[in-house]
């Protein structure tokens, strides 16, 4: 492995750790404290700013991961490479959905207030949870790829050996 590819892998994992860990800590520790300590509007003001930062970190993280996926030579078995690409695509699409929903929710709070806000919020939480799960699976696929050794793709049917002509061109005795 070259020093450049090792550095890129390390940056990928560090970026995902910050984003994934930040989201997990925020959802598991900060949000409950906000609900306990502040009224809904004050808590939502803090949440709005924090999710803006988390979404920016997510955008940067996915950019790094897409760069890794596009610049690294094929490593690992094809199904794992395909899984990484599909999970990257899923996480990217979910992040775009979250950013769009966040904009709608911000506008709703400014123009209407809390009335009718919670169905949007519930949908946002569902999409956030789906993205968290996709990122967890993405980490699993990436670790599997990072642990792979370079080499040829495995044969689909390893029990079948290549047929070779017999010496002298004859047919084997039965």
Whether 168 is covered by a domain: the verdict is no
Distance CA 15, CA 67 (A): 13
Whether 167 is covered by a domain: the verdict is no
Total of domains in the chain: 1
- Model confidence at 78, pLDDT cuts 50, 70, 90, reads confident
pLDDT tens digit string along 94-115?
Answer: 999 999 999 999 999 889 988 8
Distance CA 26, CA 117 (A): 21
- pTM here is 0.79
Helices and strands (H and E) in the chain: how many: 5, 0
Whether 162 is covered by a domain: the verdict is no
Distance CA 16, CA 61 (A): 6
Higher confidence at residue 46 or residue 75?
46
Match 């520790």 to its residue by tokens.
29
Q: How many Cβ atoms sit within 10 Å of the Cβ of residue 163?
A: 6
Which residues touch 152 (CB under 8 Å, ≥6 apart)?
none
Q: How many Cβ atoms sit within 10 Å of the Cβ of residue 16?
A: 22
pLDDT tens digit string along 125-166?
Answer: 999 999 999 999 999 999 988 887 665 544 454 454 455 555
Whether 172 is covered by a domain: the verdict is no
Whether 164 is covered by a domain: the verdict is no
Whether 155 is covered by a domain: the verdict is no
Where in the sequence is the domain holding 14, given as residue range(s)?
3-149
Distance CA 12, CA 68 (A): 8
Whether 125 is covered by a domain: the verdict is yes
């Amino acid at each position: 492995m070259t020093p450049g590819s090792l550095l890129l892998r390390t940056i990928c994992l560090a970026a995902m750790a910050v984003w994934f860990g930040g989201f997990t800590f925020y959802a598991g520790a900060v949000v409950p404290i906000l609900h306990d300590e502040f009224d809904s509007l004050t808590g939502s003001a803090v949440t709005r700013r924090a999710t803006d930062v988390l979404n920016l970190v997510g955008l940067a993280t996915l950019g790094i991961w897409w760069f890794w996926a596009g610049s690294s030579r094929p490593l690992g078995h094809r199904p794992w490479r395909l899984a990484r690409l599909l999970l990257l695509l899923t996480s990217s699409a979910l992040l775009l959905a979250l950013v769009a929903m966040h904009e709608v929710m911000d506008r709703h709070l400014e123009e209407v207030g809390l009335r009718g806000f919670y169905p949007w919020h519930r949908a946002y939480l569902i999409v956030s949870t789906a993205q968290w799960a996709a990122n967890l699976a993405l980490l699993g696929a990436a670790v599997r790829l990072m642990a792979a050794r370079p080499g040829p793709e495995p044969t689909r049917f390893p029990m079948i050996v290549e047929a070779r002509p017999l010496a002298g061109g004859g047919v084997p005795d039965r």
